[in-house]
Homo-oligomer: A and B are copies of this chain.
Amino acid sequence: MSKTRLQIIPLGGLGEIGKNMTVFRYDDEIIVIDAGMAFPDETMPGIDIVIPDFSYLIENRDKVKAILITHGHEDHIGSLSYLLRDVKAPVYATRLTCGLIEGKLKEAKVNDADLHVVKSGDEFKAGSFKFGFFHVCHSIPDSCGIYLRTPVGTIVHTGDFKFDHSPVDGEQTDMYKLAELGHRGVLALCADSTNAQNPGYTPSEAVVAKSLMSSYADAKGRIILATFASNVSRIQMAVDAALAFKRKVCVFGRSMVNVVGIAREMGYLKAPEGTFIEPEELNRYRDDRICILTTGSQGEPMAGLSRMADGSHRQVQIHAGDTVIISASPIPGNENSVGRTIDNLMRLGAHVVTSHNTRVHVSGHGSQEDLKTMLSLVHPKFFIPVHGEYRMLCSHAELAESLGVKKQNILIGENGSVFELTNRSAKINGKVQAGAVFVDGLGVGDVGNIVIRDRQQLAQDGVVIVVIALEKGSNQVLAGPDIVSRGFVYVRDSEGLLTEAKDRIESILDRCEAGNVTEWNAIKTQIRDSLGKYFFERTKRRPMILPIIQEVK
C-alpha cells in the first residue's frame, strides 16, 4: 500500500445501529476504533447478540497497533472480548470504560488483555499514527471522541456524542479541542448519525433531572425506575433524586447490579454511605422511603421490570401506590413488549411515568443542530457519516452539504467499504469482508443463514417428521410410516389430515417398491413433494417436511 494513502474501513455501524467498529490503515499499520455488538432483530430468531465479522482484522492481526474505545456502551465494547481472542493489541480507553471492559473480559475469561487507561487530552503514538482523546457528552460518563494524526492528515471520529451545556457530571463536550483541530485542519470527519433525522437540538440531561425530581415529588409510595444498565448518568440522577426525597436505593437486574457496582467503586456514581440497601432490607422501610432501580426498560421478557409486571419477580410485587418510571425510549422493534409491560404494571395498580407523558428520557445522541455544530467546529475537507441506518447516513450527508461541504467530498459507504484518502482526494475503493456474526449461547458464528432460514420456516408453519424403517436390500417396509408434527396443526383436531398423509406416503412406498426405486433420496424427495403439496392444498401452510428412512439389517 502506498505511503500517500490512508484507508478507513468500517466493519460495523454503517447501515445499522450498533456493533460499531472502524479500522484505520496506513501502510502496514492498523488502528481500530471501537469493538461493539448489536442486538438481533426479528429476522434472527434465537440469536443472543450480533458481532461484526472481523475476518479482515484476523487476517491482518500483526498489523494492529492499537484498539481505541470511545466509551463503555455495549455497542462500542461488546465484541472486544471476541476480538481479543484472535487479535492481541493494546486497548486504550478512559477509566470508567476500562472498568466496564475489565468486567466483561473477566466474564469472558480473557485474562491477557493489555489495557491502557487514558484521560481526555492525552495523546499517544502507535507506529506512524498519533491519536488523542477528547471528552464528549453522552449518556455515560467518560465518553470520548478520538482524533488520529496520520501522515496523510488528521481524522476526527466523534464516537457517540451530543452537546450538553448542563451535563450531569459537569463535563461538557470539548468544543475548544474540536475548534482547535478544525482550525489546524481536519482531512476527514467520521460522525455519529443516529439522530440525523431529528430536527433541532437534543435536550440536556438536566431536563430529565428536573422531570425526575417532580415525578419523585408526586410519588406517594415506592418508586421503581427502569433504565439501561449502562446509562450511568441517568442512574446518578435517579440516585440524586432518591437522596433529595430521603429514599433508600435498591438495585435489581444482573447488568444493573454489575454496572452500578463498577461505577460506584470507581467513583463515577456518587452517593453517601448508606444510600444503597440490599433486597432483603426492603421490608424494613416504608414504601415512600424506597427507590428501586431495575433493568427491563425495553420490555425484555427476562429482565427485572417485565418480571415485576407479570408478577413473576421473586422480590418485588407491584401494588397500588407504586410509581414506575421508565426512563428510556423503546428501541424500534421493542414498542410492543414495552407496551405490554406498561399495561401489566397499570393492571396491578401502578402509576406509570414514561417519556410519552413526561420528559423522563432524552437521547444521548445529537440531533441535526448538534450535528451541524460539530461539522462547523471541525469543518473537515471530507465527511463520512457513520453510526446509523442508511437513511440516517443520507440525512447526515444532506446536513453536511447544506453547510457547504462539497457533495463529492461526502462519502456514504457500507460495512466493509474501503474509504481511501490522500491529502487531497477521497473515494471508496473496493471492499473487504464484513457482515454479521451471530452469537447463540456458546456458539460464535456456528449459526449461519441456513440455520436462521430453518428457524424461520419452523416458526412459520412448524415441522412434520416422517419416519420409515426399511429392510436393507429388499426395501420392504418394516415399520412406519409414522408421522410426528410440531407447530403445524393441533394434532387432536387433525387426525383425518395425518391419516390421509400416511396413505399418500404408503402409496409412494408401494410404487417405489414396485418400480424398484432403491435410491432413498429419491423416495425422500417424492415424500417431501407429495406431502408439501397435499398439506398446502388442505391447510395453505408449508411446514418443513423431514422424511427419515432407517435401514434395518
Nearest-neighbor residue (CB-CB) of A41 within chain B: B336
Contacts of A489 in B (CB 8 A): 443, 446-447, 451
Of the listed stretches A59-67, A72-80, A342-350, name the one at the interface; the rest are far from the partner chain: A342-350
Q: Is the CB of B550 within 8 A of A469?
A: yes
Q: Is the CB of B454 within 8 A of A487?
A: yes
Of the listed stretches A229-237, A503-511, A540-548, name the one at the interface; the rest are far from the partner chain: A540-548
A 52-88 contacts with B by CB, 8 A: none
For residue A116, give the distance in angstroms from its CB to the closest CB of chain B.
32
Q: Does A184 contact B (CB under 8 A)?
A: no
Q: Is the CB of A450 within 8 A of B343?
A: no
For residue A73, give the distance in angstroms from its CB to the closest CB of chain B.
20
Contacts of A462 in B (CB 8 A): 46, 451, 454-455, 458
Beta-carbon contacts of A485-496 to B below 8 Å, as 1s and 0s? 011111001100
Q: Does A339 contact B (CB under 8 A)?
A: yes
Q: Is the CB of A544 within 8 A of B469?
A: no
Integer count of this chain's copies in the complex: 2
Q: Is the CB of B357 within 8 A of A197?
A: yes
Question: A332–B335 Cα gap in the complex (Å)?
Answer: 6
Of the listed stretches A212-220, A311-319, A476-484, A513-521, name the one at the interface; the rest are far from the partner chain: A476-484
Q: Is the CB of A550 within 8 A of B447?
A: no
A 439-466 contacts with B by CB, 8 A: 440-443, 446-448, 450-452, 454-456, 458-463, 465
Q: Is the CB of A42 within 8 A of B42?
A: yes
Q: Does A126 contact B (CB under 8 A)?
A: no
Q: Is the CB of A469 within 8 A of B15?
A: no
Nearest-neighbor residue (CB-CB) of A547 within chain B: B484
Q: Does A551 contact B (CB under 8 A)?
A: yes
A 328-356 contacts with B by CB, 8 A: 332-333, 335-336, 339, 342-343, 346-347, 352, 356
Q: Is the CB of B551 within 8 A of A448?
A: no
Of the listed stretches A157-165, A272-280, A289-297, A388-396, name the one at the interface; the rest are far from the partner chain: A388-396
Nearest-neighbor residue (CB-CB) of A539 within chain B: B441
Question: A478–B550 Cα gap in the complex (Å)?
Answer: 9
Q: Is the CB of A451 within 8 A of B487?
A: yes
Contacts of A339 in B (CB 8 A): 332, 389, 391
Q: Does A117 contact B (CB under 8 A)?
A: no
Q: Is the CB of B42 within 8 A of A486?
A: no
Question: A459–B356 Cα gap in the complex (Å)?
Answer: 33
Beta-carbon contacts of A143-165 to B below 8 Å, as 1s and 0s? 00000000000000000000000
Query: Which chain A residues have a beta carbon within 8 Å of chain B's beta carbons?
Result: 15, 41-42, 45-46, 197, 332-333, 335-336, 339, 342-343, 346-347, 352, 356-357, 389-391, 394, 440-443, 446-448, 450-452, 454-456, 458-463, 465, 467, 469, 478-480, 482, 484, 486-490, 493-494, 538-541, 544, 546, 548, 550-553
10 A-B pairs with C-beta separation under 8 A? A41-B336, A332-B336, A333-B333, A343-B391, A443-B489, A443-B541, A465-B465, A469-B478, A469-B479, A552-B552
List 6 A-B pairs, minimum CB-CB distance, nearest first: A441-B540, A459-B459, A458-B458, A332-B335, A454-B487, A343-B390
